[in-house]
């Protein structure tokens, strides 16, 4: 093989990845991964003797196949091979290559945790990311990326396990990574978005206005750095729109809402119909429009109808295996429920119940804490239908599902009181109030 082949192939892979960023076409990403596997281009592989490099190549191939097929067996193979490569290397002889393997292993473990919910995977991911970071000097060119990867794993564990220290640590690491990326750094906009997203999560947990305001400021700076036609501009448009919508919910300033809708529409216009993230952008625009309905105004019905239409478009782009499909099903059901409250059309309520059932079936019961919220939503909808039709089966099922939701909660969980209230309302149906349900919608809402 000519000595220039690996170098040229690396560059070709980068070009394929860049075109994927612009097009959102998975075929571009798959072609780049295919080219990557065609020759021995693994980072620092030429410096490693023995069978280490071939093992890492096989792991790389398994990861590519998982991205292509979604087959967990491919990801399991990747993790097994990366662990074997890590075991075979003597630490100290190839620290840079060793740290690369650890970093890739950490990313793969986090990805598997997000699909299976196995707690051991996310704990190991954090551990190996810390090891990888310790092998790099603070001035190493990859240090900021490794800080981000560790922070990402900590944030994922917080979102699924709820350890507050993980969120605080993630924010500190995101700040460290941002400090290593001055305004001229090509990755600064990504670091700005990561830190802003983590602050937005903390705002959702603690409710501190300063976290929300800082998140808006950081997303604005990121957007300013991503001048059109930057391939990731749609991400910053969406992120800024989501934070502005949250401030509208908090403060009620119409300017924030109007700007959020404008930014969401710009994000949608900036990606082609085939873009891999188009369904997420559709869902976020729908969420912002649906948000307006509890606040009054003459355009409420049109906002809600458009939101329902957009959610349905998003679902058409999300096959059963899509990770965001359960959230989209739940969000569509929430909007239909809001429309039912306005018009009392039983067809809307029947569709709501069907959608909640579908969402519950598709949520991973181990890895997604939002499943309990959808259980509560379903129980509420069944109770409402009982009020309309008098079908005792709906009442009995609602009581049963409320008890399931209560069993999944750890006291004192913020929704625990709501579920208990739901059970009391079953005992005293005359005291029923439909406004309990929208509060659960706020609890279970999630933006991507």
**Are both 280 and 411 inside the same structural domain?**
yes
Q: How confident is the model at residue 133 (pLDDT cuts 50, 70, 90)?
A: very high
Q: Greater confidence, 448 or 283?
A: 283
Query: Which of 175, 191, 224 represents a domain boundary (last residue)?
Result: 175
**Are both 291 and 433 inside the same structural domain?**
yes
420, part of any domain: yes
Give the per-residue pLDDT at 208. 93
**Are both 171 and 275 inside the same structural domain?**
no
**Are both 160 and 294 inside the same structural domain?**
no
- Which residue, chain included where needed, has tokens 């809600």? 304
> Is the separation of the CB atoms in 333 and 377 below 8 Å?
yes
328, part of any domain: yes
Give the per-residue pLDDT at 389. 93
226, part of any domain: no
125, part of any domain: yes
Tens of pLDDT, residue by residue over 325-368, are 999 999 999 999 999 998 999 999 999 999 999 999 988 665 55
Instruction: Return the half-sphere exposure (C-beta side, CA atoms, 13 A cut-off) of residue 292.
Output: 25
Q: How confident is the model at residue 78 (pLDDT cuts 50, 70, 90)?
A: confident
**Are both 293 and 428 inside the same structural domain?**
yes
362, part of any domain: yes
Per cent of the chain over pLDDT 90 is 54
**Are both 300 and 426 inside the same structural domain?**
yes
Mean pLDDT of 127-145: 94
pLDDT of 132 above 90: yes
**Are both 167 and 300 inside the same structural domain?**
no
CA distances from 107 to 17, 97, 113, 210, 219 (A): 18, 15, 10, 31, 25
49, part of any domain: yes
32, part of any domain: no
Domains contained in the chain, number: 2
> Is the separation of the CB atoms in 174 and 198 below 8 Å?
yes
- Please, what's the b/e burial string for 157-173 (b: 16 or more CB within 10 A of its CB; e: otherwise)? bbbbeeeeebbebbbeb
The angle formed by the CA atoms of residues 273, 61 and 6, to the nearest 5 degrees, is: 95
26, part of any domain: no
Query: Which of 175, 195, 224 represents a domain boundary (last residue)?
Result: 175
Tens of pLDDT, residue by residue over 247-267, are 999 998 889 999 999 999 999
CA distances from 227 to 232, 236, 262 (A): 10, 11, 17
Q: Greater confidence, 381 or 9?
A: 381
Alpha helices in 117-180 (DSSP H): 119-134, 143-161, 164-179
444: domain range? 271-448
Could you give phi then psi for residue 269, rounded to 5 degrees? -70, -20
Q: How confident is the model at residue 414 (pLDDT cuts 50, 70, 90)?
A: very low
Helix (H) or strand (E) holding 162: none
Query: Which of 175, 204, 222 represents a domain boundary (last residue)?
Result: 175
What CATH number does residue 401 fall under? 1.25.40.10
């Amino acid at each position: 093989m000519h000595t220039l082949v690996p170098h040229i192939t690396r560059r070709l892979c980068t070009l394929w990845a860049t075109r994927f960023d612009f097009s959102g076409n998975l075929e571009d990403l798959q072609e780049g991964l295919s080219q990557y596997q065609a020759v021995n281009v693994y980072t620092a592989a030429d410096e490693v003797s023995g069978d280490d490099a071939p093992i890492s190549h096989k792991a790389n191939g398994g990861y590519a196949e998982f991205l292509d097929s979604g087959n967990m067996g491919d990801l399991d193979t990747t993790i097994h091979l990366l662990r074997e490569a890590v075991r075979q290397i003597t630490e100290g002889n190839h620290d840079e290559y060793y740290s690369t393997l650890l970093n890739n292993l950490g990313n793969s473990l986090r990805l598997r945790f997000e699909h299976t919910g196995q707690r051991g995977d996310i704990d190991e991911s954090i551990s190996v990311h810390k090891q990888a970071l310790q092998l790099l000097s603070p001035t190493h060119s990859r240090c900021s990326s490794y800080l981000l990867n560790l922070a990402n794993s900590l944030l994922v564990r917080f979102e699924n396990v709820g350890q507050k220290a993980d969120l605080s640590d993630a924010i500190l690491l995101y700040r460290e990574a941002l400090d290593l990326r001055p305004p001229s750094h090509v990755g600064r906009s990504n670091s700005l978005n990561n830190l802003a997203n983590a602050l937005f999560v903390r705002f959702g947990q603690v409710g501190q206005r300063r976290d929300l305001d800082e998140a808006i400021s950081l997303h604005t700076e990121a957007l300013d750095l991503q001048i059109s036609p930057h391939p990731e501009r749609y991400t910053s448009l969406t992120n800024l729109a989501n934070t502005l919508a949250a401030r509208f919910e908090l403060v009620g300033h119409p300017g924030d809402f109007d700007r959020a809708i404008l930014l969401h529409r710009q994000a949608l216009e900036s990606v082609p119909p085939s873009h891999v993230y188009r369904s997420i952008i559709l869902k976020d625009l729908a969420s912002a429009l649906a948000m307006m309905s509890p606040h009054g105004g003459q355009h409420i019905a049109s906002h809600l109808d458009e939101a329902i239409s957009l959610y349905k478009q998003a679902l058409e782009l999300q096959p059963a295996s899509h990770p965001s499909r359960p959230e989209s099903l739940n969000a569509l059901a929430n909007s239909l429920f809001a429309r039912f409250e306005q018009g009392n059309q039983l067809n809307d309520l029947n569709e709501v119940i069907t959608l909640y059932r579908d969402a519950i079936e598709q949520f991973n019961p181990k890895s997604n804490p939002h499943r309990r919220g959808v259980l509560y939503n379903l129980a509420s909808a069944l109770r409402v239908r009982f009020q309309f039709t008098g079908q005792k089966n709906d009442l009995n099922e609602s009581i049963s599902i409320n008890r399931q939701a209560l069993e999944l909660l750890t006291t004192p969980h913020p929704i625990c009181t709501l579920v208990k209230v739901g059970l009391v309302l079953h005992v005293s149906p005359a005291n029923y109030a439909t406004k309990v349900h929208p509060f659960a919608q706020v609890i279970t809402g999630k933006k991507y």
